[in-house]
Structure 1
Amino acid sequence: MTQFALEALAATRALRALFEPTPLQRNDHLSARYGADIWLKREDLTPVRSYKIRGAFTAMRKLRAADPGADHFVCASAGNHAQGVAFACRHFGVKGTIFMPVTTPQQKIDKTKVFGGDAIEIRLTGDYFDQTLAASQAYCTQAGAHFLAPFDDADVIEGQASVGVEILDQLGRAPDLVILPVGGGGLAAGVTGYLRATAPQTSYRFVEPLGGASLTAAVAAGAPVTLKQVNSFVDGAAVARIGALPFARLDWVRPEMILRAPEDRICVTMLELLNVEGIVLEPAGALSVDVLPELADEIHGKTVVCVTSGGNFDFERLPEVKERAQRFSGLKKYFILRMPQRPGALREFLQMLGPEDDIARFEYLKKSARNFGSVLIGIETKAAENFPALTRQLDAAGFSYRDITDDEALAEFLI
């Protein structure tokens, strides 16, 4: 057994002071669908509803062991890492200063306060995370405190490796495949570092959000690179640059081992898990399950573990998730319709709608000509194949229209 594997075992034992192993649950619904033995490693069920507590606790424990006088820790985070650090500060009875962007939702601020109690102070600084990070590091130097990085830290990686330790213990055998979400890379580096040493026959797939594929870019370049643009919807994994230490431990990963999940498709997966299984996952937490359809042929008859990395989902985002899911599934479309300004034109259009079609949005934009007006119309239906029937009728009747569902610029402005 490697030195890293031994350290991962020690980190796992130490974590028992905080919480019992998260469940490894066989999912009958997914297993039946794919003809496989599919298990979910429920990191959404830690005390802070994400795996981040593992790395934060381990790094803090080891820093205090090396320096018993260490009593002040600093981090920058708008989400799960902040909550993990807050929980660990309260456990050890040390001071924590947590920097969060000014734009952080109040729900996340409140949860971090609950986990940290009187042990922590939250400072809201910067509109963007880079500004928040810079402020936290400057403060940390000034205060002589210890900075806790979210993923680019050897002790954090060691703590995340405890997920792999628990998987092997709970399953009682090596899985054929482990599917891991990737953001900064700490979880992937830790879990694979342990399992490659103890279960060499296991294979891996890594999943990134399509709009934040930092591992894909790093593998292509042979080193971490900074993405020019990141889609922040999958906030738990939308990282512009994978960590240097995690990537150094993932340098064996090949491009075909990485999958990229479209943000809107992730919403479909989130809703299915919520409605069918009653499992609440944040977007990053659903990444590993989202790619199962792409792997259907490969996983048939095999034992597969999907790490559901977090469940910190703000239900105020549910309408957005539903909207994205419907649009991805072809069940909702938006059109700009050039409506003739004559009696009966609207009635004529409404009669084209089928029994499964429903108007979700109807808004006159402007009168574009003397005899015509532009209308923004949103239509929901129960089956995607209903839309071609509608557009055929529009064409036959001579209505002028434009489908703007996938036009990001117009959709952002009008919808």
Structure 2
Amino acid sequence: MRAVFPATPLLRNDFLSARHGADVWLKREDLTPVRSYKLRGAFNAMRALDGQAVACASAGNHAQGVAWMCAQMGLRGVIFMPVTTPGQKIDKTRAFGGRHVEIRLVGDFFDDTLAAAQAWCAESGAHFLSPFDDWDVIEGQASVAVEMLEQLGGPPDVLVVPVGGGGLSAGMLRYLRAEGAMPEVRLVEPAGGASLAAALREGHPVTLPDVDTFVDGAAVARIGARPFEVLRQVPPQHVLRVPEGRLCVTIQEMLNVEGIVLEPAGALAIDALRDLGPEIEGRRVVCVATGGNFDFERLPDVKERAMRFAGTKKYFVLRMPQRPGALRDFLELLGPDDDIARFEYLKKSTRNFGSVLIGIESTDPGSLRALEARMGGLGMQWRDITDDPTLGELVI
């Protein structure tokens, strides 16, 4: 592997160490040539193909890892991506693979893309490369643990690893067990895609009915069957679930304070430190930062989610009387730090009251709670739709 790309650094982070009263180190997988760990599994699986073409279905890091390895090994690769894949991801995959890679856009949904890739492999004899449910891929991802032990001089006290399909966590844990170097392990999933927690409850992999795809690198509806063979030994209480809104706070902090660009999945392990509290005080902790392929066009969405989670931004539907001065009466209720970020009103000619959609930002969540108290004191009618999933998707 070293002939193809260098080891990623294991760096102590003073900011996180001071905050959590621990010795916190980051395994920086965001610093590989493709800005994620995915090229490790791709390398290990593809080095035994002996010239055979390879295909995968992915719109993200797996596609880029496979494409980069195709160029390094001189293999033909066909990357199947959904038609809805952002152009930036398509362009990066094409740049990594160059003339060795063909990109095919198939289907509006990933299941259609996956079916097309597998069907093409069956017809052409190409090797289908799963992003996580493949023993060679799992073994390749274990190289993160190999490097960690070498760089740290042994295992940490606590290891925090994100889980999506389970390839990385299964590879690392399998290797550490074999070496007799197992630290305490905490696995981390996004709250909207906790497929490992569901599998541990049922005793086998299950398919989640709904998945929040915001953490696109780890929000997987079903844990891989092979990874679960390794991870089924993990105690359920050692699998943490991170709320997407809080994760956005962590992404912003790492960018603004540390200058580290992390994708949502790449920040999972760091965010989970908030839940560990006294468990890690005074101990050496390694967090695996799995990737940094962050599209900055998503930054407004990250900021929005972070503010809503922190309570510094709220959306209300107000029932306002249709009379002159009614809006002025409401504006006088606002505090000195309250800022209107959105306002929509349509006067109804046949009604005494109209509805107003209003978004308000503040520097302190207490200010917005005080605003609600003042509105209640005047008998105003409103509905807080900040966390309403349906209205949030359709309106906000």
Distance 1:163 1:369, change over 3 A: farther
Which among 20, 24, 32 is matched to residue 38 of structure 1? Answer: 24
Whole-angstrom CA distance in 1 between matches of 2:389 and 2:202:
29
TM-score under structure 1 normalisation? 0.93
Q: CA deviation at 1:251?
A: 2.0
1:307 is matched with which residue?
288
Equivalence for 1:3: none
- 1:12 matched to which residue of 2? none
Q: Compared with structure 1, are the counterparts of its residues 114 and 401 closer, same or farther at alpha carbon in structure 2 (3 Å cutoff)?
A: same
1:16 aligns with 2:2: yes
- Asked if the contact 2:161–2:186 (Cα under 8 Å) also holds between the matched residues in 1, the reply is yes
2:275 counterpart (289, 294, 298): 294
Structure 1 Cα separation of the partners of residues 242 and 184 of structure 2: 19
Do 2:322 and 2:347's aligned partners in 1 also have CA atoms closer than 8 Å?
no
1:184 and 2:165 equivalent? yes
Residues 1:398 and 2:379 are matched in the alignment? yes
One-letter amino acid of the structure 1 residue matched with residue 325 of structure 2: G
Deviations 1:92-117 (A, max 9, x none): 11110010011111100000000000
Contact 1:365 1:376 (8 Å CA) reproduced: no
Corresponding position of 1:53: 39
Match of 1:219 in 2: 200
Instruction: Kindly state the Cα deviation for residue 398 of structure 1 after the two structures are TM-superposed.
Output: 2.2
> For 1:216-365, what aligned pairs fall within 5 Å after superposition?
216-365=197-346
Displacement, 1:377?
0.3
> Which AA in structure 2 matches 1:18?
V
Deviation of the 1:200 alpha carbon: 3.4
Q: Which residue of 2 aligns with 1:6?
A: none
Q: Which residue of 2 aligns with 1:413?
A: 394
Q: What is the alpha-carbon root mean square deviation over aligned residues?
A: 1.2
Provide the identity percentage: 66
Question: CA separation in 2, counterparts of 1:210 and 1:177?
Answer: 22
Residue pair 1:97, 1:121 contacting (<8 A) in 2 also: yes
Point out where structure 1 has 5 or more consecutive residues left out of the alignment: 1-14
- Could you give the per-residue CA deviations for residues 194-213 of structure 1, whole angstroms, max 9, x where no partner exists? 12233535110000111111
Q: In the aligned structure 2, how far is the partner of 1:365 from the partner of 1:281? A: 41
Taking the aligned partners of 2:349 and 2:147, their CA distance within structure 1 comes to: 63
Query: Partners of 1:366 and 1:161 in 2: how far apart?
Result: 62
TM-score by length of 2: 0.98
Native 8 Å contact 1:76 1:132 kept in 2: yes
Contact residue 173 and residue 182 of structure 2 kept, 8 A = no
SS at match of 2:137: helix
1:58 and 1:159 in contact (8 A); partners too? yes
Whether 1:26 aligns to 2:26 is no
* 1:76 aligned onto 2:57: yes
Contact in 2 for aligned 1:75/1:149 (Cα 8 Å): yes
* 1:150 is the counterpart of 2:136: no
Q: Structure 2: any 5+ residue segments left out of the alignment?
A: none
Hey, what's the Cα distance between the residues in 1 that align with 2:33 and 2:183? 29
Task: Sort the Cα spacing of 1:368 and 1:51 in 2 relative to 1 into closer, same or farther, 3 A.
Answer: farther
After TM superposition, list the pairs within 5 Å mapping 1:101-180 onto structure 2.
101-180=82-161
Residues 25 and 42, structure 1, Cα contact 8 Å, conserved in 2: yes
3-state secondary structure, aligned to 1:367:
coil
Secondary structure of the 2:348 match is strand
Aligned length: 396
